[in-house]
Amino acid sequence: MESYEQFLEEMKTKLRDVVPEPEIYIKAEIAYEINRLKQERNAVILGHNYMEPALFHSIPDYVGDSLGLSRIAAQTDKDIIVFCGVRFMAETAKILNPEKTVLLPAARAGCSLAESITAGDVRRLREQFPGVPVVSYVNTYADVKAESDVCCTSSNAAAVVESLGVDTVIFLPDEYLARNVARETGKHIIFPTKSGWKADATLDYQLIGWHGRCEVHEQFTVQDIEDIRAEYPDVVILAHPECSPEVVAASDFSGSTSAMIRYVQDVDAPRYLLLTECAMGDNIAAANPEKAMLRLCRVRCPHMNEITLEDTLAALQKTQYVIEVPEEIRLRALRAVERMIAIG
């Protein structure tokens, strides 16, 4: 393991434009201890792209989007997986690699999309639309995945829907992601309500959505984009597909968190604007100091924000909070997650 002085210098260099120096000193000490303990406990740390910059750039062995981190979780041979992300991500790691101890550093760390739908809702939809396959976004809990035929993430949603090769698909629970997939695949979409759905043979639809929303991405508007373009006509705008279809249509690129990071790294532009969770802009700015990043940073995801260096240290010291998924649910959810991973 490198010396503390070396580690501190690296953090100072990487974070100098995004984290105040006194904070770097405090965080570097905690991060160094986490890295020591990680080795002692034979643990791997996975960090979602939305982790705050001091954590993102110091302790994860792997960083990435939901799909990338699921793949790594499935393959790791370490004893412990510490998931610096939200609960549904840690659950997906447990579903894929049940022999491992999976730790989430915050007791809950939810997600407005995962909270928006229950397993009972999925069963009711299946009754209303018999024989129609269910695609669930990974931003759902294990019991919802268990009721689904296949999962998807923001990086493969349209490909998963098209891979089914059927006329009609139930796509849950993100209304905006569903509308974006409908736009991309040319499908018509309907939204049944919780109180029920009367079959209507006159309607032409191929996608059946749900009313879940990401509380972060739903806040960006077309007006925001127009205002920024008026001030910076040469800006390249990137939007996560959890933004509304109007926002995605008014942007220059839409993709998963990792796809947006790759875009900024690979495509030269005078300046970039990211319509996504705040911390990711800081993380990209720290990794690409030569690129001009504009910030429209209104909202930090309150759930991702629950994951701190302090709590990650406590997670490794006290082996908390252990993620469990009942075996009967896990096995059914596994089919849906593995089917997604096979599609890509």
Residue numbers at the binding site for ligand SF4 (CB under 6 A): 86, 111-113, 139, 214-216, 242, 277, 301, 303-304
Radius of gyration over alpha carbons of the chain, in Å?
Answer: 21
Residue placing its CB nearer to ligand 13P in the complex, 28 or 142:
142
Residue type, position 294, single letter: L
175 contact partners, CB below 8 Å, separation of at least 6: 191, 209, 210, 211, 212, 213
Site mask for ligand 13P (CB under 6 A), range 35-74, x = bound: --------------x---------------xx--------
- Cα separation of 51 and 295, whole Å? 17
Helices within 46-101 (DSSP H only): 53-56, 66-75, 87-96
Q: Does 214 bind ligand 13P (CB under 6 A)?
A: yes
- Cα separation of 131 and 202, whole Å? 19
Q: Does 257 bind ligand 13P (CB under 6 A)?
A: yes
3-class secondary structure per residue, 23-40:
HHHHHHHHHHHHHHHHHH
Strand partners, 150: 135
- Cα separation of 42 and 100, whole Å? 11
Q: Does 175 bind ligand 13P (CB under 6 A)?
A: no
Q: Least distance from C-beta 201 to ligand SF4, angstroms?
A: 35
Residue written as tokens 């191929």? 206
Q: Does 242 bind ligand 13P (CB under 6 A)?
A: yes
Q: Does 112 bind ligand 13P (CB under 6 A)?
A: no
Q: Least distance from C-beta 234 to ligand 13P, angstroms?
A: 26
Strand partners, 170: 134, 208
Give the one entry of ligand 13P, ligand SF4, none that residue 65 binds, where binding means its C-beta sits below a cut-off of 5 to 8 angstroms depending on kind: ligand 13P
Q: Does 340 bind ligand 13P (CB under 6 A)?
A: no
Site mask for ligand 13P (CB under 6 A), range 285-324, x = bound: ----------------------------------------
Strand partners, 183: none
Q: How many chain residues touch ligand 13P (CB under 6 A)?
A: 11
Q: Does 154 bind ligand 13P (CB under 6 A)?
A: yes
